[in-house]
Chains A and B, each alone.
Chain A
């Protein structure tokens, strides 16, 4: 029995470990465990009034704070029957687009790209690839500007609340950020070209279930039903009938399957399921670069993230071209009906579908909450992919050095762009060979 321990898989969000056991040259066990302390956000918000919850749940993640903010607000509004205005919905789109730009650009350039170019980290890579890193820093800067413009600050936005926005920036500031977004479009096109040109492993898991939100009109973000490439379809309110959350011994993260099977959610799932709704510029680039979609090669998730940066920047520019945002009154809930109420929200965040499910007392006090992050959903699929991929490598190269195998494992984990901090949640790898 061979046992390999990778004490830390770095350059992912949070801390986790992977245990791999190989018997007679075949991987027979692969487990990914979060080794972070449990965070109990669902309990922390219990007993809080509806308008105190969002600022707390935003703290689940510094990277996806906008996503958690909007998912939380939508769940509250669904429960308390607050109908948002079109302006509010557009502003919510903009704040999450800013976050999408920042999160994807940081991950693909700082964490994934060094793997493919042969560097230990982004600072080492910057010595040779200075222009690429400069492009990335500029994309991140502009993404931040957009979040700050709409959300009040670039992390943990406090301006979006249930019922609307407490402050609207000045028109000249919307115009300034629109110009900045337009200016980074060529840099993002270069990013897509760079990632499309990387030599990714020739690997596919053909039966992968790709799960995403689906909105009939636009590329999915905040609304729609949940669909898969295998024909699964359900409204977010029925998530408990389809998605099974469970714990595994030794892990502080939860895991999720759909009807008993692992699935993938995130950029590649969204693009595989909804390629036709990407912006014309993205479609043209996919054609020009001969990118084959849909794909079951999850190493292409980072390319999908680059495509999404382009799509969402196009979308932000198009919203800002038509927008004339003005202050609106904050809509308040009506507690007259005296009933307990439940609201469920499912939105697409950088790493996949995020669920917030709240039940309130008749007075608007939170009684029960359930939050399912994308990494929780991706963990079983990550385990299955690691097992399948390693077996594929070992079949071709049974004597492949352990160090090289470890790098392949890390590359695969980073392709998923997991956030262990949020799934409760650095990666330590224990490898056993018989």
Chain B
């Protein structure tokens, strides 16, 4: 069953929505929603990876699957090794062939409306 890793911090109001959705949805079709505790959890995935997260600059829920759109933050220390860093390495080494990020609009709080949009997107997959 493909997993969708939900990233965020439930204690930070603008970064909590993906985690709240993971708690609520659990499963849609054959997709299992996982609340990600650490960026390194994605190291277990091969071929295709699904992520649910809040993305700044997105006005409605959509899939981002172009790795060129992933911005690499400047990694200065091990403390900065984030999901973006591991994603780039997994794609660069060919361990992952595809990353699909279900991007949620930043600041959107209507969890029921977001759930409906996710269901609509995943029905096509």
Q: Report whether B77 and A126 are in contact in the complex, using a CB–CB cutoff of 8 Å.
A: no
Q: Which of A10-18, A194-202, A336-344 binds B?
A: A10-18
Interface size on A, residues (CB 8 A): 34
CB-CB under 8 A for A133 and B92, given A144-B38, A153-B37, A153-B38: yes
Q: Is the interface of A mostly helix, strand, loop or mixed?
A: helix
Q: Report whether A133 and B93 are in contact in the complex, using a CB–CB cutoff of 8 Å.
A: yes
Q: Report whether A127 and B92 are in contact in the complex, using a CB–CB cutoff of 8 Å.
A: yes
Instruction: Convert B76-92 into 0s and 1s, putting 1 for each residue whose CB lies closer than 8 angstroms to a CB of A.
Output: 11110100011011101
- Interface positions, chain B 9-40, Cβ under 8 Å from A, are 37-38, 40
Q: Report whether A110 and B75 are in contact in the complex, using a CB–CB cutoff of 8 Å.
A: yes
Q: When chains A and B are docked, how far (Å) is the Cα of A199 from the Cα of B92?
A: 26
A contact residues around B77 at 8 Å (CB): 10-14, 421, 426
Closest-by-CB residue of B relative to A13 is: B77
Q: Report whether A11 and B75 are in contact in the complex, using a CB–CB cutoff of 8 Å.
A: yes
Q: When chains A and B are docked, how far (Å) is the Cα of A110 from the Cα of B75?
A: 10
CB-CB under 8 A for A140 and B88, given A12-B77, A123-B72, A134-B95: no
- Interface positions, chain A 228-253, Cβ under 8 Å from B, are none
Closest Cβ–Cβ distance, residue B67 to chain A (whole Å):
11
B contact residues around A14 at 8 Å (CB): 77, 79
Judged by a CB distance under 8 angstroms, whether B43 is at the interface is yes
Query: Would you give 12 A-B contacts (Cβ < 8 Å), ordered by A?
Result: A10-B76, A12-B77, A14-B79, A62-B79, A123-B92, A133-B92, A134-B93, A140-B43, A153-B37, A154-B37, A421-B79, A426-B76
Q: When chains A and B are docked, how far (Å) is the Cα of A141 from the Cα of B44?
A: 7
A contact residues around B2 at 8 Å (CB): none
Judged by a CB distance under 8 angstroms, whether A137 is at the interface is yes
Q: Which of A10, A13, A123, A144 contacts B40 (CB 8 A)?
A: A144
Judged by a CB distance under 8 angstroms, whether A63 is at the interface is yes
CB-CB under 8 A for A8 and B76, given A133-B93, A137-B89: yes
Closest-by-CB residue of B relative to A8 is: B76
B contact residues around A421 at 8 Å (CB): 77, 79
Judged by a CB distance under 8 angstroms, whether A55 is at the interface is no
Q: Report whether A63 and B79 are in contact in the complex, using a CB–CB cutoff of 8 Å.
A: yes
Q: Report whether B78 and A103 are in contact in the complex, using a CB–CB cutoff of 8 Å.
A: yes
A contact residues around B43 at 8 Å (CB): 137-138, 140-141, 144
Q: Report whether A106 and B89 are in contact in the complex, using a CB–CB cutoff of 8 Å.
A: no
Closest-by-CB residue of A relative to B44 is: A141
B contact residues around A123 at 8 Å (CB): 72, 85, 88-89, 92
B contact residues around A126 at 8 Å (CB): 88-89, 92-93
Judged by a CB distance under 8 angstroms, whether B94 is at the interface is yes
Q: When chains A and B are docked, how far (Å) is the Cα of A134 from the Cα of B95?
A: 7
Judged by a CB distance under 8 angstroms, whether A398 is at the interface is no
CB-CB under 8 A for A122 and B79, given A130-B94, A134-B95, A144-B43: no
B contact residues around A107 at 8 Å (CB): 78
The 3 A-B residue pairs whose C-beta atoms are closest, nearest first, are A126-B92, A141-B43, A130-B93
B contact residues around A137 at 8 Å (CB): 43, 86, 89-90, 93, 95
